[in-house]
Structure 1
Amino acid sequence: MQQNERVPGSGESPQPGYIRLRAAMAAAKYHGIELDIRDFAAEAGEESPSPASLARWLNEQGAVAKGMRVRWRYLVRLTNTPPIVLMFRDGSAALMVGANADRGVVWLRDPLTDEGAAPVAVDELRLSQVWTGDVLLVKRRRDQSEADAPFDLGWFVKIVLRERRALRDILIASVVLSVLTIFPALLVMQVIDRVVNYRSMATLVSIIGIVVILSFYEILLTYARRELMLVVSTRIDTRLSLHAFNRLLALPLEFYERQQTGRVLGRYMAIYKVRDFLTGKLMTVFLDMFTLLVILPLLFYMSATLAWMTVACAGLIGLIAVVFIGPIRRIYGRLVDAEMERGSVLYETVAGIRTVKTLALEPSRREMWDETTADVVRWKLAAGRMANWPQTLVMPLDMFMSRGIILVGAYLALQSSGGIAAGGLMAFMMLGGRVTAPLVGLARLLEDLNEVSTALGEAGMVLNQPTETKALTNGMRPRVKGALSFTDVNFTYPGAAVKALNNVNFEIPAGTMLGLVGRSGSGKSTVTRLLQGVSRTYTGYLRLDGIEMREINLTHLRRSFGVVLQDNFLFRGTVRDNITAGRPGLTIDDVVRAARLAGAEEFIERMPAGYDTWIEEGSTNISGGQRQRLAIARAVISDPKLMILDEATSALDPESEALVNANLQRIGKGRTMVIVSHRLSSLVDCDLICVMDQGSVVDLAPHAVLLERCEIYRMLWMQQNRHQYGGESSRASMLAEGE
């Protein structure tokens, strides 16, 4: 929403949506949370930010916010509270900074004024004319939130327990259903012992009426319980999906660079096995346990001998399951590893299908797939055979519970004294089946714990990695101008023995166009990684406008930068959507201006639908040069004060490169530019060029000065301009190769 993103100029009345955003920012600032208005992304179709949108924004930035509707009698009692945002009907808002229930007034402050401005007392009548009844409550997050808590079984339990009210209703329905399950068995006992034996039609009619009524209530309660379970499962699934995906986004780029994408996805999807267990089998067995608690005492009352037999068989089944837990867990872990390895091969093949086809790599990929499939099949067979043993050992006990007990009961029924009647035996078998199911389910639940614990461990290997959450939500949010300073900066990649940056020292003022050159592995791209906050484990001091980079909010830092990489990714969508990916509220005029700066306007206008042309997955319907220029347009549309171009023109043809280079002067006007390029001709017009070698800064000067005094730069220049230097460039090439 464009009017909410731009601060009104002098003489321009502020938009209501802008006032509402400023009110939310002021409430957050009271708790020490600095927000950037440019970080807010409005919901589609909202003329002014809703309380839900503001709460979502504040929660993403490290606060705890909640939108709710309150009445005046409750609002006026909120004394000695932090500032509360009151939503007005015109789309604006005010800050409530105090209340007095005795006088019947609240004190409001204009969010556009300073904190020291005097508030205005407003009574119920005046406030009701402008207030919607909605408020936004904000506080600072102090405890460990769901977003930061370890991803384990305890976290899942907390998620489930948040649905206490629905779980309570399910529990009540389960207890009532458990009681209702007793009556059909008792009615069968009466039918056999009284109706059949005594041929009593009146008793039969009465029993039929009772059966119809009880059946109706049982059907109604069963439907209600299923509906409640469906709602709870859906809520848990939604909360789990949102949390897991947010945790995935919060993982640092370094983690993804060290891990296979297929393995990351395989481990991430393991969370849904845990979800299915908690909301499926576990909940079903848990609810069935109430049936057990209700029916088991009745079984002992009817026949203690048969009841003990039932319990003993179920206990033996549980013991068998416990014995096989360890072996099954080990084999299943090997199976999961094999399946993830096969998933990685599948992902790499699909993602790199263009390379597979162009290099005719089908046979080698097929061979790799066959090998991984063989591993999966081998371990799946081993897991199936291991699981077959407990199932086979349980079968005699299962058969005895379903067939043997009725024979023992018949024997007892034939005894002259202390036996069980025929009707009682039938009732016992009906109720015994209800008892056996939860007992056997509880025992077999232990087998499922193998799979769940393995899946939980696999998911935790991804989701329990250190995240950037704190850096993304905390830290300073200064206005970026673009001055950079490196002081004794050292950096080593994890697992590497040699420093990627070694005592890097240089300083450039804001508005400088800086070129970074050097041989491969000299540390050029590492400098840009540190500037983007991808890696923050460096030593020394890296300052932006005099502020240490690690003290700046990471989201604010990255949104203040424009970054164009050598291989840029475009999302499936329109040209316009891709250019405005970071600022979805900007207008078509902003899109056209950014495309013109990037030299992309001419080819976009030739497309069938212009800026609404659809870009397919993988950008297969546009050229590499076009993709690169769209990425440059995406970077400049937010008007960043600092831009990083890391080999941004390497994929362009000479004509497109010349066009982009011609626009660099216009793109760089009023902003700092850091340009990494192997083509020195594209850096000639830079204010300063930093020459790097083996992680250190060799020289820093304009092009002409470097040609005179820097040997490395001069050799690189002569190599790329052989047509001008002839044999001298050949000698330089040999020297470079010798080094």
Structure 2
Amino acid sequence: MGYLDPKTDPALPPPEDTRPSPVTIRLQAVVRAAKFHGIDLDPHDYRAEPGEDVPSVAALARWLEENGLDARGMRLQWSTLVHMRDVPPIVLMFSDGSAGLMVGADDVDGVVWLIDPFAPDGAPPVAVDELRMQQAWTGDVLLVRAHAGRNRGEPPIDATWLWNLVRGERSLLRNIILGSLVISVLAIFPPLIVMQVIDRVVNYHSMATLVSITGLLIVMSFYEIVLTYARRELTLVISTRLDTRISLAVFDRLLALPLEFFEREQTGSVIGRVSAIYKVRQFMTGRLLSTFLDLFTLVVVMPLLFWLSPALAWMTIAAAGAIGLVVVIGMAPMGRLLTRQINAEMTRSSTMYETVAGIRTIKTLALEPTRRHLWDERTAEVVRATLASGRMSNWISMMVMPLDMFINRGVILIGAYLAITSTSSGLEAGALMAFTMLGGRVAAPLVGMARLIDDINDVRASLGEAGSVLNRPTETQALTSGMRPPIHGALSFVDVSFTYPGAPSPALSDITFDVPAGTMLGLVGRSGSGKSTITRLLQGVSRSYTGFLRLDGIDLREINLTYLRRSCGVVLQDNFLFRGTIRDNIVAGRPGLTMEAVVRAARLAGAEEFIERMPAGYETWIEEGSTNISGGQRQRLAIARAVISDPRLMILDEATSALDPESEALVNANLQRLAHGRTMVIVSHRLSSLVECDQICVMDHGHVVDIAPHAILLERCEIYRTLWTQQNRNPSASGNPDAPADGMLTSIEEPEA
């Protein structure tokens, strides 16, 4: 069944053979719904799920949430849908895989008002009744709205944030609390039954009473088993749901941090501090939840203990309180030792990560003894911290143990003494046994509450560690808002200046030049002249510049950051390939593209010839670290990955530096084809690869010295002429960056930030 019948509705779209595919219609419907809330999306940015033929409601909702909207999929009945007046556009899913936009409803006439996703703005909606809707509509809808906290910034990762996560599971918590309350009530009956067995059955040899009590005990045990199983199942569900929500939120926040943060921080330290959040999750779903549930037992059992024996009840409470006091006193030194242990373990983990990440350098330079010595020192510090915290914990446990023994063993002896010597106590053998069974249930929650205070310190420290990373300013606002104009590639720099944090001098000073769309622009200069800094600004990596940087006449900071980066193809000097097939790496940014697009991109990058020589071709598996391919092959795959999305703006930052002369010549020969219809910004220390550029910008100490074609620069720019002469004095130098003609050539090989 199609969208709706165009033969009977002239306002509807043309016949099926002239309409887009159902999947395209569904994506366009979502795009129109997002545009209503001020978010412009590109259907080509949607990433299909593995094995997904038609975008699911859940996948579309995730796509919208990634772009700063709140979205929720649900299944509705017609009776509910027809009453939804004055609502934002709702995406209705149709059985053929397409979708429509509902813009209104009229429950009096029994119709809903739909518009076609491809209809022009201002097109009148079409009224559709229940009969016709039921023929096409699956019942699934996608509700879209603007994010409630979009303009208020992201909430900090702290105790309030965690409480809001827990509060989102109110229904499950309510069921767990109810089950715990019932279990607590049932838990007092076995001791009472034991009391009756001793006092009534054993003393009076009553077989009938024994049979009755046995039947009652079996029934109550059955219900207790069922309820305990249900509570554990609910606890497991809430634990996994909280773990999932925390994991998703933390990873999203980590991805939203700017690149500058990761460039300044040690990777192992970042991972260690972020991973501390999982200690919080374990606390919330472990001791916190169990202690909270044990409190219900305390509330139920305490009145019964005082009913059995007030004297023994006060003794039990006093002993449990003393245990809590010991734990509280030891809390401060224990907290300091635990913090020391956590920091030592994080430092050791950072050493492990750094060793694994730099294993090639370690093996090449035979640094194993140095790294082993450093690991030994880190391990020794962990051992010292672990021993110190363990010994403190052991001291606390030793001081608590006599009090715990008194509750479990001493109370029964005192109770026996009272039963023998005092007739006024009224404590019989059965009551004493019942009190002993129930006394342990009182001590556990009180001790748990005392230990809970100790754990809160650890949780606070873990939250602080995670918050030191996750609460930093993110790019979320820039990634989810802003303009999405068509990109043509015209660049304009007007008095642009930029200084790296902590740097004594600016990296760029009053940069001013214009580049029309479709221009090949080369950037040259000595190390530290600011070439790579310009590419960082163009990618939106650094946005704290002064002046005006415009793309097609629009200030770069006004453009949606995700859209900007997806509209740019970037190839760096050292490119990272993911573990997976060659095809997966080429289509990493556009997983829905066809094999024909992959082959075309590989051909443009000069990678097709070596891919076809491999036994598995495009399905060849790339190992972690790209250890099974050469540096030149990795570079060409990175170029293919950049051009596959046909970007209007391409940035090549020392992109051919890792290529051998033959591969470099092949890529340079393809640059003219790569540059057709797009703007290219090429940073290279090999001036021979920039000869064909329309404009070459010569930079020095953050200033633009000159900008002109190659021939003109040779005549009028002394810096460019000097560099060109030095590189071409020795012909092998231009083809081999590792064999410079002299010291000046070495100075222009720039591993810039």
TM-score tier by shorter-chain length is over 0.9
Cα offset, 1:275, TM superposition = 0.8
2:527·2:747 contact (CA, 8 Å) conserved in 1? no
* 2:248 aligned counterpart, secondary structure: helix
Deviations 1:199-251 (CA, angstroms, capped at 9, x unpaired): 11111111111111111111111111111111111111111111111111111
Letter in 1 for 2:705: V
* 1:291 aligned counterpart, secondary structure: helix
1:715·1:736 contact (CA, 8 Å) conserved in 2? no
Equivalent position to 1:279, from 282, 285, 305: 285
Given the alignment of the two structures, is residue 317 of structure 1 paired with residue 335 of structure 2, yes or no?
Answer: no
Q: Residue in 1 aligned with 2:354?
A: 348
2:522·2:695 contact (CA, 8 Å) conserved in 1? yes
1:518·1:692 contact (CA, 8 Å) conserved in 2? yes
Deviations 1:669-722 (CA, angstroms, capped at 9, x unpaired): 110000000111100100000111111111101111111111111111111111
2:276·2:462 contact (CA, 8 Å) conserved in 1? yes
Q: Residue in 2 aligned with 1:654?
A: 661
Structure 1 length normalisation: TM-score?
A: 0.96
Distance 1:178-1:524 versus aligned 2 partners, 3 A rule: same
* 1:674 aligned counterpart, secondary structure: strand
Letter in 1 for 2:526: R
Given the alignment of the two structures, is residue 476 of structure 1 paired with residue 483 of structure 2, yes or no?
Answer: yes
- Determine the C-alpha separation between the residues in 2 that align with 1:274 and 1:169: 23
Q: Residue in 2 aligned with 1:677?
A: 684
Q: Residue in 1 aligned with 2:26?
A: 20
* Farther-moved stretch of structure 1 (501-510 vs 27-36): 27-36
Q: Kindly tell me the number of residue pairs found equivalent between the two proteins.
A: 727
Equivalent position to 1:568, from 548, 559, 575: 575
Structure 2 length normalisation: TM-score?
A: 0.94
Distance 1:734-1:270 versus aligned 2 partners, 3 A rule: closer
* Farther-moved stretch of structure 1 (461-470 vs 683-692): 461-470
Q: Residue in 1 aligned with 2:372?
A: 366
* 1:129 aligned counterpart, secondary structure: helix
Q: Residue in 1 aligned with 2:427?
A: 420
- Determine the C-alpha separation between the residues in 2 that align with 1:268 and 1:98: 46
Deviations 1:164-198 (CA, angstroms, capped at 9, x unpaired): 11111111111111011111000110111111111
Equivalent position to 1:115, from 121, 124, 141: 121
State percent identity of aligned pairs: 69
Equivalent position to 2:723, from 698, 716, 726: 716
- Determine the C-alpha separation between the residues in 2 that align with 1:52 and 1:322: 48
2:526·2:747 contact (CA, 8 Å) conserved in 1? no
Q: Residue in 2 aligned with 1:62?
A: 68
Letter in 2 for 1:368: L
Q: Residue in 2 aligned with 1:534?
A: 541
Q: Residue in 2 aligned with 1:628?
A: 635
Q: How does 1:128-147 map to 2 (within 5 A)?
A: 128-143=134-149
Cα offset, 1:12, TM superposition = 4.9
- Determine the C-alpha separation between the residues in 2 that align with 1:358 and 1:76: 71
1:66·1:138 contact (CA, 8 Å) conserved in 2? yes
Deviations 1:298-322 (CA, angstroms, capped at 9, x unpaired): 1111111111111122222222222
Q: Residue in 1 aligned with 2:92?
A: 86
Cα offset, 1:387, TM superposition = 2.4
Cα offset, 1:385, TM superposition = 2.5
1:262·1:347 contact (CA, 8 Å) conserved in 2? yes
Given the alignment of the two structures, is residue 410 of structure 1 paired with residue 416 of structure 2, yes or no?
Answer: yes
1:184·1:211 contact (CA, 8 Å) conserved in 2? yes
- Determine the C-alpha separation between the residues in 2 that align with 1:401 and 1:464: 46
1:147·1:247 contact (CA, 8 Å) conserved in 2? no
- Determine the C-alpha separation between the residues in 2 that align with 1:210 and 1:378: 56
- Determine the C-alpha separation between the residues in 2 that align with 1:190 and 1:465: 64
Distance 1:642-1:232 versus aligned 2 partners, 3 A rule: same
* 1:493 aligned counterpart, secondary structure: coil
Letter in 2 for 1:539: T
1:561·1:640 contact (CA, 8 Å) conserved in 2? yes
Letter in 2 for 1:687: D
2:605·2:636 contact (CA, 8 Å) conserved in 1? yes
2:61·2:72 contact (CA, 8 Å) conserved in 1? yes
Equivalent position to 1:168, from 163, 171, 174: 174
- Determine the C-alpha separation between the residues in 2 that align with 1:207 and 1:575: 72
Deviations 1:67-122 (CA, angstroms, capped at 9, x unpaired): 11111111111111111111111111111111111111111111111221111111
Equivalent position to 1:194, from 187, 195, 200: 200
Gaps of at least 5 residues in structure 2 are: 1-13, 734-739, 749-753
2:484·2:563 contact (CA, 8 Å) conserved in 1? yes
1:512·1:671 contact (CA, 8 Å) conserved in 2? yes
- Determine the C-alpha separation between the residues in 1 that align with 2:460 and 2:117: 51
* 2:336 aligned counterpart, secondary structure: helix
- Determine the C-alpha separation between the residues in 2 that align with 1:575 and 1:734: 35
Q: Residue in 2 aligned with 1:706?
A: 713
Given the alignment of the two structures, is residue 294 of structure 1 paired with residue 309 of structure 2, yes or no?
Answer: no
- Determine the C-alpha separation between the residues in 2 that align with 1:219 and 1:521: 72
- Determine the C-alpha separation between the residues in 1 that align with 2:743 and 2:576: 37
Cα offset, 1:11, TM superposition = 8.9
- Determine the C-alpha separation between the residues in 2 that align with 1:308 and 1:279: 32
Q: Residue in 1 aligned with 2:670?
A: 663
- Determine the C-alpha separation between the residues in 1 that align with 2:725 and 2:36: 59
Q: Residue in 2 aligned with 1:4?
A: none
Q: Residue in 1 aligned with 2:555?
A: 548
2:309·2:425 contact (CA, 8 Å) conserved in 1? no
Given the alignment of the two structures, is residue 604 of structure 1 paired with residue 611 of structure 2, yes or no?
Answer: yes
Q: Residue in 2 aligned with 1:500?
A: 507
RMSD of equivalent CA atoms: 2.0
Equivalent position to 2:444, from 424, 437, 441: 437
- Determine the C-alpha separation between the residues in 1 that align with 2:82 and 2:216: 56
Given the alignment of the two structures, is residue 593 of structure 1 paired with residue 591 of structure 2, yes or no?
Answer: no
Letter in 1 for 2:411: I
- Determine the C-alpha separation between the residues in 2 that align with 1:723 and 1:195: 109
- Determine the C-alpha separation between the residues in 2 that align with 1:146 and 1:318: 42
1:718·1:725 contact (CA, 8 Å) conserved in 2? no
1:310·1:436 contact (CA, 8 Å) conserved in 2? yes
2:578·2:624 contact (CA, 8 Å) conserved in 1? yes
- Determine the C-alpha separation between the residues in 2 that align with 1:723 and 1:294: 92
Letter in 2 for 1:77: H
* 1:721 aligned counterpart, secondary structure: helix
Cα offset, 1:736, TM superposition = 8.5
* 1:239 aligned counterpart, secondary structure: helix
Q: Residue in 2 aligned with 1:231?
A: 237
Q: Residue in 2 aligned with 1:216?
A: 222
Q: Residue in 1 aligned with 2:494?
A: 487
